[in-house]
Structure 1
């Protein structure tokens, strides 16, 4: 997960001199592709050249999803969601992309460059700045059909994260034809969802059971992925009424939900393989290539396999999401383990 975008340290603090970004209010929810005002995290934006954009964000301290973790650190995935929304804002507010025009993230990559930037004192909200640069535009006639963004994030004056995103655009008519063709190639009509029980929250580093999005097929199910190796397999098993993942209606499984499933499967796989002593870890890297749309009518299977920890302690976990036997998302999650032990009650309950 490398990027050619220059580091924050090399460019100075964000935003640059002369650019003032506020934290007084959020941008209009339509710009961030959110229906609920409380799910909008971008607070301001500015364009400084044809290709350079600066944005500010703040995550609510009591957010039902992003504050659901043990004290000590903010969740880097919360700032990644703010960075995702920032892409929508810069496209619509500054690049003239019409609201409602279908487009998709084909690939996302992020890497936490300074985990200490996410230190949480228990009282401060997670807020910071994002700088995006458009490094590539692909056109068909006068229409932009693709774009590559490289980004850097600063939190508390520290270079916190680097990001990249590959976008694809199409007209509503082309999108409708494309989706209809895709679904016609799949056995959607004959598909059946396997009943799955969600994993206990403590096993994936969560506290609120509603925020668990993966599960096992049946009360007696067993999986691979123990100390002897092999992939850990589980099913997407999210609450379909979750206010963050299902903020509005979708015709396919939302990308942020699938990525959270990747993260939780990675945590479970790393613990089962002995690569982490506890499920409490900071997510310090994510790479996801979206190869196809995932349909709601059929099982979405996660396969996660942990690698050996790196010199800095990061545990890489390869994750593939499959539907109808074909890969939908391929990627990797990097975890930085927390040395703190499981709560005694959780450890006893699961034989840890």
Structure 2
């Protein structure tokens, strides 16, 4: 472990390279400290408005987005890895799982001041290759003024850049693509913002949904010019964009089934098993599993080249008045 970084909470954000961001405005973590070799405390501040995370409808624009808090938790994990485990900045990271469960209640309300969060990050498992640390499993408990907001757990690993380059070349070659990614597909036609619970067209990440039996299907829209989703250049579809695509498809599917308007995301279970290329189309398929007593669950997959690259289960709280199927 390296020397503890000591920064006063709320004064300024930690260095952006610690959380894999280029834009300082996208850094939420404001301090980091170690309690032990396996437990760390970070603080974060959430802005009251955000062009991407704050863009919702149905009253959700007055509440913080769980995906924003999960991003703060992701940043906390990255800061711990670099600051306390000495992992170099040139390593390439692979996200394996990323899960979150939100608490209910007024803790999510946007107030007159930015939300100040405390995040306790616990290392639950170390992964080693030839005695070198190459991955972690972590749990992050997020609170606001001592009230639980969100529980997150994830598994991720990292490899040297030369290994990454070889891996990506081999994956693309197996798919019949050129060795190097150069340009994403044209955007295509997006769904209307109202279909997916957004106000701004620029934040819509799927095509207009269609139904096939019990399934709702859409094509992924990857806008590599988006300031938040593509804060820095990448050669594949980021995991956070995949989750957002499933959320938007789930919102649409639930509205069609129950007339609930914009359902509120309250849990995410994700398992990433392969890369999604930016220069080939990806198809998202969502199925409503349960609708019961104001809560709904959907399962979703994202497919490319005829194989599934990621699996998701998302939970939603339905607005009052949409308690059962139509």
> One fold, TM greater than 0.5?
yes
The 2-side partners of 1:157 and 1:282 are apart by: 23
Match of 1:242 in 2: 226
Match of 1:296 in 2: 278
Q: Secondary structure at the match of 2:248?
A: helix
The size of the alignment, in residue pairs, is: 310
Judge conservation of contact 1:293–1:328 (CA < 8 Å) in 2: yes
Unaligned runs of 5+ in 2: 1-5, 179-183
Judge conservation of contact 2:102–2:267 (CA < 8 Å) in 1: yes
The 2-side partners of 1:55 and 1:320 are apart by: 33
Matched, 1:204 2:191: no
Q: Secondary structure at the match of 2:207?
A: strand
With over 3 angstroms needed to count, the CA separation of the structure-2 counterparts of 1:196 and 1:132, relative to structure 1, is same
With over 3 angstroms needed to count, the CA separation of the structure-2 counterparts of 1:58 and 1:137, relative to structure 1, is same
Following superposition, the deviation at residue 115 of structure 1 comes to 4.0
The 1-side partners of 2:172 and 2:202 are apart by: 30
Q: Secondary structure at the match of 1:330?
A: strand
Judge conservation of contact 2:7–2:30 (CA < 8 Å) in 1: no
The 2-side partners of 1:135 and 1:26 are apart by: 26
The 2-side partners of 1:21 and 1:266 are apart by: 40
Match of 1:320 among 301, 314, 317: 301
Following superposition, the deviation at residue 62 of structure 1 comes to 2.6
Alpha-carbon RMSD across the aligned residues, in angstroms, is: 2.2
The 1-side partners of 2:223 and 2:164 are apart by: 27
Following superposition, the deviation at residue 334 of structure 1 comes to 0.8
The 2-side partners of 1:175 and 1:240 are apart by: 21
Match of 1:78 in 2: 68
Q: Secondary structure at the match of 2:91?
A: coil
Q: Secondary structure at the match of 2:281?
A: coil
Following superposition, the deviation at residue 194 of structure 1 comes to 8.0
Matched, 1:111 2:101: yes
Judge conservation of contact 2:140–2:153 (CA < 8 Å) in 1: yes
Following superposition, the deviation at residue 180 of structure 1 comes to 1.0
Match of 1:12 in 2: none
Match of 2:205 in 1: 213
Q: Deviations over 1:263-293 (max 9, x none)?
A: 111111222232x511x22211001111111
The 2-side partners of 1:207 and 1:44 are apart by: 33
Judge conservation of contact 1:112–1:162 (CA < 8 Å) in 2: yes
Match of 1:36 in 2: 23
The 2-side partners of 1:156 and 1:76 are apart by: 17
The 2-side partners of 1:245 and 1:66 are apart by: 10
Judge conservation of contact 1:114–1:158 (CA < 8 Å) in 2: no
TM-score by length of 2: 0.89
Matches within 5 A, 1:121-140: 121=111, 123-140=112-129
Runs of 4+ in 1 over 4 A off after TM superposition: 192-195
Judge conservation of contact 2:220–2:283 (CA < 8 Å) in 1: yes
Q: Secondary structure at the match of 2:106?
A: helix
Judge conservation of contact 1:76–1:282 (CA < 8 Å) in 2: no
TM-score by length of 1: 0.83
Judge conservation of contact 2:291–2:297 (CA < 8 Å) in 1: yes
The 2-side partners of 1:281 and 1:308 are apart by: 14
Match of 1:255 among 239, 244, 257: 239
Q: Deviations over 1:271-320 (max 9, x none)?
A: 2232x511x22211001111111111110111011122245x32111010
The 2-side partners of 1:232 and 1:108 are apart by: 23
